[in-house]
Structures are given as structure tokens and as C-alpha cells.
Chain A
């Protein structure tokens, strides 16, 4: 794959109204998950209604930030030019202790990655709206 060489910005999210509170949480360095005020079901990614009880009332719970690696990808050839000089890099899918999953970067040696690796979230501010998650091994 060839790409025109130019200053490629980092891919960023378009933050819509259903996801806005979640991103605002990250900006405060809090990892949130939607928790239904009526039935307590956790929902991630955020939805405008509770898939379990169909309530339109939405609430949030703050995660401990701890979880375990559930799966991971090591990108060795970048598809997006922003990442061309960052390979190889690992992206982890983390099963948070509360019982939901999120994607984040992995900071640490690639050969440490394994199923169930205990990790803890850290935060990287990209701009006023966007903060990203970086997981590192704990214990």
C-alpha cells in the first residue's frame, strides 16, 4: 500500500451525543461504563437506551481501571500513515474487572502479552476533547 507523503494527523473519533459523556470521562482521566439506573446492566459501547430493560434513562459508573488482557493485535505493517513509524505496536482488548471490554494501547514488551495478563489503565491527553487509554501490566 502506498500513500502520499504528508503530515498525517492521528485518527480521531467523531464524538457523537451518545458517546460524549464517555469521552468526557476519559478527559477527566476516568474510565466510565454505562450503567442502567433501572436494571444495573452495564453497556459498552454506549447506547441511547438500555438493551436489557429498554429504559431511556442512562447513567454511568466509574471503572477501577483494572482488568485483564482478553485479546490483542500486534500491527507490524501500518495501514494508516500516522502509524507508519510506530510499528510494531500492540493494541489490547481488555476485560475490565467490572465486566465490560475496551480497546487501548499496550505499553510494555510485546512478548509479555498473554491471555489474562493483569493490566491497569493510564491516560494520554491528545487534545481538549480526546484522551486515549494506555494499558500497562500490573503485579
Chain B
């Protein structure tokens, strides 16, 4: 996103359904509920919406929203690809649609019955595996946890990391979820002992290294910074939003490029993010880092420049990433403990931190970072007051 667009658009409404293991409703219905909640939050009407953005992998498409809500004013729409890499990219897209003057009010949403419906981790939907998936599925590396274990092992080899060190991430995020009544695991504590005692699934990973599977939907509304001034919510300005692929990049199976412990796509996104924002990691007050798997949070922090390569385990130690620490992370519980809306719920928490309404609120937040998936074509976002 060009610096010329910096903070010219803002997120002015956020909405979500409950996050559950079985929504009992269609993904269409969940999406529409989230959109209506975002409109109510912003004090806008459905007829104000003139643009729609969503992600691929969604079981719904824009027409489902248009038809359910009778949206007659749509002028532009887009679907941003690459699954968990897409969320912050949808913010970049919405900001471009608004700052270009094509749209005045863009809604973006993500809806999924990931727990009760088809699960990404499930093997039942794919009889034969295309593209690079065919190179590893026949050997029994079928789901993202099994792929990620290859990367996690390499952190142990290269940096001497231990599971004792990795525990800091899921235990801290669970503590944040314990403060957040919306979190799926709000009522369940997680200790370091629980983590270390958990059986291995795809060694060296256990279930607490894995993100949740969730039914639910989230939505947000973007309008111009000018119009945002007249609305009720504190605007979360879209300071900078970027997309990047790096090269080469596959989906979570980035075993064929030089390093398993550096994400070419995240390094590329970070370079763009810092140069286009004029900011540095030191300026970030709070961050929501895509946590599909706990050890990858360390890799992402390094790739974004919060610490040097191989220093991730030390960086997350001593309470730095906890509420009250120097860089609180995933303050709603993240994908590990709040819910897994494919990374989109991280955007909503990033907005809450700007508004001052998080259940693990950081004081005086000026810059709130949100990142999308490590290991796929990705994106990142800085929100500001």
C-alpha cells in the first residue's frame, strides 16, 4: 500500500458471531449475522454498503450477502486468495477500494463451520492430491500440523530450542483467552505442565501447538477517514496494509527453499510493511501474530524483525508477550485459544486495541500490528489511532 494512502481509510465497525464447536447454522447465516453486527457497531445501514471483500476457502460468496440483505448498491467486490495468508490483504483491498473513490463503505467478512462442517485437517474430501501435495501426502504428511512439524523440528536443530521454551506461546495466549468471554477456551486454563505432558501428534508438536477448529464468522467495515470522523466508534485507521509472496512459496510445505526457519513471504511482507509505514518493530505497542502453530509465532517474530533469527524463544520468555509485558501478543487468545476464523478474528482484536476495548487492553496504543499466515502468500496490517 503506497504511503500516499496511509491512514486515509479506517475500520469503523466490527462484528462477530459466537465462536463455537457447532454453530447449528449455515455459513451464509453466520456471515450475515457478522455483517449486521458490524453495521450496528458502526451505526451504518445495510444500504450504505457499496463494496464487498472476502477470502477464498469460504463456503459463501458475495452473492450470499447481497441476496440475504438485499444490497442494491454494490459497485465493487473482490476475493483475496491464499487462505490464512489473506486476512490482512482484505484490509489492503478494502482500503484501496475506498481511497480510490470507487466505494464509500466496504464490508469484509469470513464465515466458516470449520469444526462441525468440513475441516481443513480432515482427509475425507481429497481422493488424490494435486500439485506439491502429491509429493508428501502419500507418505502420510496430510494435514497442516504434520507439515509444520518439519519446520518446527528444524528450529530445534538450528537453534537448540526445546518444547519447554515453546510452551510460553500457548500458555500465554490461553491466559489471554481466560480474560476474554468470547474465547472458545475462556473457561479452560492451560499450564506449562499440561503442555509438556500432552501426547505428541506429529512430533515435535502436540495438540496445544495447534490452532483451534471453530464455527463462526467475523466482519468489519471500512470507510474513508473523513467519513469515519462522523461515526460513533473510535476509528482504527488503516495506517499501512501490505501483501507479499516472496519466492518460492507453497502452502505450509516450504521445505524446498533454502531455509525452513525463515519465511521468504514474511520477510518480504515485513520489508514492505516497515518501509511503507515509516515505522519499525519498536513502534508497535501490541500485536496479533498469526498463530496457526505455536513455534511458528517465534519464526514470524524473527521474520518481522522483532528479534534476530534464532532469538524467538528468548524473546517470548520472561513475560514479554503477556498482557503487561513489553509486547503483548494475541491479546484475545489468538487462533490457539480464542478461535480460528482463519486469522480474521486477529483483525478484530487489533481494532479493539486501538479502541481501548480489549479484555487484555494495552495502555495508550498508538500502533497495533496484525499479521497473517506464515508459510503461505501473506499480508500484514498496522492500525493506528
Give me the interface of A with B, judged by CB distance under 8 Å.
Answer: 1, 3-4, 9-16, 19, 44-45, 51, 70-83, 86, 88-89, 91, 93, 100-105, 115, 126, 130, 132
Docked CA distance A104–B255 (Å): 12
Docked Cα-Cα span, A70 to B247, in Å, equals 21
Say yes or no: A13 contacts B135, CB within 8 Å: yes
Closest chain-B Cβ to A43's Cβ sits at a distance in Å of 9
Cβ of B143 within 8 Å of any chain A Cβ, yes or no, is yes
**Inter-subunit contact A76/B255 (CB<8 Å):** no
Whole-angstrom distance between the alpha carbons of A19 and B130 in the complex? 10
**Residue of A51, A71, A132 touching B248 (CB-CB under 8 A):** A51
B137 partner, pick from A11, A51, A102, A104, beta carbons under 8 A: A11
Majority SS at the chain A contact face: loop
Q: A75-B202, A77-B201 are in contact. Are A130 and B138 (CB under 8 A)?
A: yes
17 inter-chain pairs at a CB distance below 8 angstroms, sorted by A residue, are: A9-B127, A11-B126, A11-B138, A13-B130, A13-B138, A14-B134, A44-B256, A51-B248, A71-B157, A71-B260, A73-B153, A77-B200, A78-B140, A80-B143, A91-B140, A103-B255, A126-B138
| Known pairs A11-B123, A16-B131, A103-B135; A71 contacts B255 (CB<8 A) | yes
A93 touches B255 (CB 8 A): yes
Which of the 9-residue segments B15-23, B25-33, B144-152 touches chain A?
B144-152
Pairwise interchain contact B121-A1, C-beta atoms closer than 8 A: yes
Tell me if B141 and A91 are in contact (CB < 8 A).
Answer: yes
- A71-B150, A75-B146, A93-B150 known; A11-B129 Cβ under 8 A: yes
A101 x B255 contact (CB < 8 A)? yes
Interface of B: prevailing SS: mixed
Name the CB-closest residue of A to B201.
A77
Which residues in A have their C-beta under 8 angstroms from that of B146?
Answer: 73, 75, 79, 91
With A13-B129, A103-B136 given, is the CB distance from A45 to B141 under 8 Å? no
> Judging by beta carbons under 8 Å apart, are A132 and B135 in contact?
no
List, in ascending order, chain B residues with CB within 8 A of A89's CB: 140
A residues within 8 A CB of B129? 11-14
- Interfacial chain B residues near A4, Cβ < 8 Å: 124
Please pick, from B130, B139, B199, B247, the residue contacting A91 in the complex, using a CB distance under 8 A. B139
A76 and B150: CB pair below 8 A?
Answer: no
Closest to A124 in B: B138
Contact A76 B199 (CB under 8 A): yes
Residues of B near A3 (CB, < 8 A) are: 122-124
Q: How near does chain A come to B81, taking the closest CB pair, in angstroms?
A: 19
- Measured between C-beta atoms, what is the minimum distance from A85 to chain B in Å? 12
Bound: A75/B146 CA distance, A: 7
Contact status B123-A80, CB under 8 Å: yes
Tell me the minimal C-beta distance from B370 to chain A in angstroms.
29
**Which of B140, B153, B247 has most A Cβ within 10 Å?**
B140
Which chain B positions have C-beta within 8 A of A16?
A: 130-131
B4 touches A (CB below 8 Å): no
CA distance A9 to B123 in the complex (A): 11
Nearest to A3 among chain B residues (CB) is B124
A10 to B140, CA, bound (A): 9
Closest B residue to A15 by CB, please name it.
B134
B229 at the interface (CB under 8 A from A): no
The CA-CA distance from A104 to B136 in the complex, in Å, is 7
